[in-house]
Structure 1
Amino acid sequence: MTRKIGVIGTPGKWSTESLADALEARTGYRQVIDMSQAVLDLEAGTLHCADVDLCQLDGLILKKIAEDYSPDALDRLEMLRVAEASGVRIFSPAVSVLRLMDRLACTMTLRAANIPMPATTVTEDEGAALAALQRYGAAVFKPLFSTKARGMMLLDSDTADAAARIAAFRQANPVIYVQQKLDLSGEDLGMVFLNGEYLCTYARVGQSGSWNTTIHSGGRYAPYEPSEELIELGRRAQAPFGLTFTTVDIAMTPDGPIVFEVSAFGGYSGALKGCGMDAATMVVDHVLGEVSR
């Protein structure tokens, strides 16, 4: 029997299309779903994207719910819960991803699990945010909804106009998330897991002159061999979220490893370019095994 598995993502994007290609090769069915076109009819119990009723599929792989993280993207995840209620398996489950898209929700879950993280202050008070910056010496101000370091601001405690820049940051971010900047020696790590099982680790090596290591800011991928202790840290960090495929962002500091966040959708490109691993095919094989049970 042909299994109809759709890919929720961004049409034309490499990782979305790679998943759709792998599904088509195994099932003969190919469907990329753009949630910006979703129409939820609660009376009829349908969730349509174009001509496809998501509630009638065998499963959905959730690669990207929106091009940019925002509170609006949470509403798209809520809509997917209708498909789940009708019996459609979603990988990763909508509720699991909901707990990750808001940076504060992710941070609170990691801290509750006793995962080491940079010192962090969260406040709506600009004066308290400035005081945190003074304590930390240098800090990164992070939007609660963002990826690839977009919208982040680095400040040193001796910045002359720090108060004014914090006030400007708060205009776009009413809740101010302040995280101490640590010495990361120019790289951080992406530790990849599939259904809770460790796959590989890649490094993101920052471009000279950039304070962050994201590929968006000119960083590059490189292979990395972690210790068993570091793998166990990554495993503990991702465990509370119940994700199908994810990447744990880890960095080595002079005081030991710290975790920044757990990815809602995982790093397919990093797994391929940094580890030589075709994560899309592995995810598809796992999903087909699950929906065939």
Structure 2
Amino acid sequence: MTDPKPRIGVVGIPGKWSTEVLADAIEARTGFRAVIDLQHVSLDLTTGRLDHRGLDLGELDALVVKKISAEYSPDSLDRLELLRAAEARGVRVFSGAEKMLRLINRLSCTLTLRHAGIPMPETVVTEDLDSACEAVQRFGEAVFKPLFSTKARGMCVISADQSPQALRDEVEAFRRDNPMMYLQRKVELPGRDLGMVFAGGRYLGTYARVPQSGDSWNTTIHSGGRYEAYAPSEALIDLASRAQAPFGLDFTTVDVAETPDGPIVFEVSAFGGFRGALEGAGIDAAGAYLDHVLSEL
């Protein structure tokens, strides 16, 4: 008698390409399909039922998380707490809820990478307006980043090449929506940055993101960039591997850039990109991720 196939749900955004590709792969291998939008999940703490449109998520064997919301915010942390409730019921969550909690907040990710000795852009984090202005003057140009964001949304570049008052006004405008300011020295990129893909800690491949125009300061597809194939050195693969290791994720993409002063890591993604892996590197990320999940189950 063969073991029954596992019932695996996909946490994501219904209709979005990466969510549906992962759900398609799971359905093809297991015969079961469930796409779970966390905004439609309710937790009854008395009974322990975790309901999504009549489906008790606590009865599934696993949940594979592709996306918890269209945009990151502090509310995203509350949605991850719902996944902790599923784990308490014995459901395997990929990647684990507490592991993802460490990555949704950009500051938490940065501190973990710094403590692991991973090279990153020079970074200042402060609520103090004067300190932020001084950092911009020291850097010359700085990229200001919200603590919760994806695809460079909400980021801006502030230059020291303006009057002190104009500089202060720009920083203050950013601080109105971001009381804890996170800013990095703007680094010179070689016309691309890299997405280095891992499943279960195993390196799968690399794709490059190339800006649409030569004067663009970021390479995200959201800002008009495109994906290309790229063959990294063994040293770059080793750096990305060391960067993702402290987080213990089941699937991730490490954002790396080669600069005149050596390679740096921008961040480790809580979820990783499927489209860039496929279009840029020919990697079936959904299939590779599912292989890892099934081997764990």
TM-score tier by shorter-chain length is over 0.9
Who is 2:106 aligned against?
103
Amino acid at match of 2:268: V
Other-structure match for 2:198 = 193
Aligned partner of residue 68 in structure 1, secondary structure = coil
1:16 aligns with 2:13: no
State the 1:289 CA deviation: 2.0
Q: String of CA shifts for 1:235-262, please: whole Å, max 9, x gaps.
A: 0000000101100000010000000000
C-alpha displacement at 1:45, in angstroms?
0.8
1:223 matched residue in structure 2: 229
- The equivalent position to 2:184 in structure 1, one of 155, 179, 200, is 179
Describe the SS at the equivalent of 1:237: helix
Helix, strand or coil at the partner of 1:193: strand
Name the counterpart of 2:56. 53
Q: Distance in 2 between matches of 1:28 and 1:185?
A: 45
Distance 2:37 2:162 in 1: 43
Partner of 1:272: 278
In structure 1, C-alpha distance between the alignment counterparts of 2:171 and 2:212, rounded to whole Å: 26
Secondary structure at the aligned position of 1:148 is classed as: coil
CA separation in 2, counterparts of 1:212 and 1:152? 10
* Residues 37-93 of structure 1: CA deviation (Å, up to 9, x unaligned): 010111101111111111110000000011110000100001110110111101100
For 2:247 and 2:106, how far apart are their aligned partners in 1?
Answer: 13
Match of 1:133 among 136, 148, 157: 136
Whole-Å Cα distance in 2 between the matches of residues 158 and 231 of structure 1?
37
Q: Equivalent residues in 2 for 1:3-82 (5 A)?
A: 3-82=6-85
How large is the Cα RMSD of the aligned pairs?
0.7
The aligned residue for residue 218 of structure 2 is 212
Q: TM-score, normalised by structure 2?
A: 0.97
Measured after TM superposition, the shift of residue 159 of structure 1 is 2.9
- TM-score (normalised: structure 1): 0.98
Amino acid at match of 1:31: A
Matched pairs, number: 291
Q: Which runs of 5+ in 2 are unaligned?
A: none
| SS of 2:102 mapped into structure 1 | helix
- 2:238 partner SS: helix
Residue 233 of structure 1 pairs with residue 236 of structure 2: no
Give the 3-state SS of the residue equivalent to 2:137 in structure 1. Answer: helix
CA drift of 1:278 comes to 0.7
1:252 and 2:258 are equivalent in the alignment: yes
State how far apart, in whole Å, the 2-side matches of 1:288 and 1:229 are.
30
Matches within 5 A, 1:117-132: 117-132=120-135
Shift of 1:284: 1.3
Q: Determine if contact 2:158/2:171 at 8 Å carries over to the other structure.
A: no
**Cα distance in 1 between the residues matched to 2:291 and 2:243:** 24
Check if 1:2 corresponds to 2:8.
Answer: no
Q: Pick from 148, 154, 159: which aligns with 2:157? A: 154
Q: Distance in 1 between matches of 2:58 and 2:292?
A: 21
Q: 5+ residue gaps in structure 1?
A: none
Whichever residue aligns with residue 130 of structure 2, its letter is G
Report the secondary structure of 1:80's partner residue.
helix
- What code does the residue aligned with 2:260 have? P
**Could you tell me the percent identity over the aligned residues?**
63
Q: Corresponding residue for 1:170?
A: 175
Provide the C-alpha distance between the structure 1 equivalents of 2:199 and 2:10, rounded to a whole number of angstroms.
17
Q: SS of 1:17's equivalent? A: helix
Equivalent position amino acid for 1:275 in 2: A
